Amino acid sequence: MNMTNAHAQRRTSDGMVDLHGHLLPGIDDGAKDLEQALNMARLAVEDGIAVSVLTPHHLNGVYTNTARHVRQQLARFRDRLFEHGIPLQVLPGTECHLVPELPTALAAGTALTIADRNQAVLVELPVHTVPLGASSILEDLLAMGLQPVIAHPERNRELIGDSEQLADWVDMGCLAQVTAQSCTGRFGSQIQNAARRMVCDGLIHVMASDAHRDSRRIPQLSAGREVVAQWASPETASLLTEDFPRALVDGRAVDTAVLKDTLPSRKGRLASWLRRLRA
């Protein structure tokens, strides 16, 4: 790894940053009520998460959470965290469904960017397909100066078996976020294998919890971080859980060039695969 660059990025880190979670109570399929939301925040702190970007669904055909609404709900939740003495920094965000009207919504300010920085936007694909025109919408976002962060590509049925499409998007300038529980095997071996391949191919830049509840789908990054440290390296795990998401919430560019040097070589990956096969 290029230690100078990596160190330069890491100096700014101070705890893990969870870029994707549904903690805001009662506004989507995440936390059901305030009590559950507070429990989730406590779990995040216990896990070593310092910052959580709260990202309710938007434009997915079920939930509409405009920028104004999310900001208001976040301000209320921040007050509740303070009252309960929970030291979790929360920032506004939205998980935006990748629909043709998304660029217009972002330009009009009715959909939120990550941490309200107008630099990057968390985008969600359908579970089963990559919709026609997806690349063109991503190009439009990039042309607007917004960097798309593709949420959990390892859980998309089309991308699971073929990460070439994801590689094309990353070449275009997009980033991608793996879900921590995909890495730990919570969603099954097929998704776990896809996550491993994408991480080791350098197609993943952020690990997030995508937490929905205070049990099972919880705000936890540490277990996934350990898995990534074994798949790739401890440096990769740090970049994905600290440095890169921290840059995004601070509104700084993500220096993706440092990622490659932290990943195992193809030769090393083959040797590790053979070792696992013989074990």
Contact between 95 and Fe ion (CB under 5 A)?
Answer: yes
Q: For the sheet containing 89-92, what is the strand order?
A: 16-21, 49-54, 89-92
* Residue closest to Fe ion when measured from CB atoms: 210
Indicate whether 214 belongs to the interface with Fe ion (CB under 5 A): no
User: Whole-number minimum distance, CB 21 to Fe ion, in Å?
Assistant: 7
Residue reference for tokens 């009590």: 35
DSSP letter (8 states) at residue 232: T
Q: Nearer to Fe ion by C-beta: 149 or 232?
A: 149
Helix (H) or strand (E) holding 7: helix 3-10
- The nearer residue to Fe ion, 140 or 210, going by C-beta atoms, is 210
> Of 40-48, 67-75, 92-100, 133-141, which part binds Fe ion (CB under 5 A)?
92-100
Count of residues in contact with Fe ion, rule CB under 5 A? 2
Decide: is 18 part of the binding site for Fe ion (CB under 5 A).
no
- Residue 223, token pair as written in the block: 């277990």
Q: Evaluate whether 236 touches 259 at the Cβ level (below 8 Å).
A: yes
Report the residue number, 120 or 232, with the smaller CB distance to Fe ion.
Answer: 120
Binders of Fe ion among residues 238 to 277 (CB under 5 A) are none
Contact call for residues 263 and 236 (beta carbons, < 8 A):
yes
In the complex, the smallest distance separating the C-beta of residue 270 from Fe ion, rounded to whole angstroms, is 34
> Any residues with CB less than 8 A from the CB of 113 and at least 6 apart, and which?
93, 94, 106, 119, 120, 121, 146
Comparison of 204 and 258: residue with beta carbon closer to Fe ion: 204
Smallest CA-to-CA distance from 134 within 157, 158, 160, 100 is with: 100
Query: Within 10 A of 253 (CB to CB), how many other CB atoms are there?
Result: 10
User: What is the Cβ-side half-sphere exposure of residue 257, based on CA atoms within 13 angstroms?
Assistant: 7
Among 18, 116, 140, 210, which residue interacts with Fe ion (rule: CB under 5 A)? 210
Nearer to Fe ion, 23 or 239 (CB): 23
Window contacting Fe ion (CB under 5 A); options: 131-139, 179-187, 198-206, 208-216: 208-216
Q: Which stretch binds Fe ion (CB under 5 A): 90-98, 111-119, 161-169, 270-278?
A: 90-98
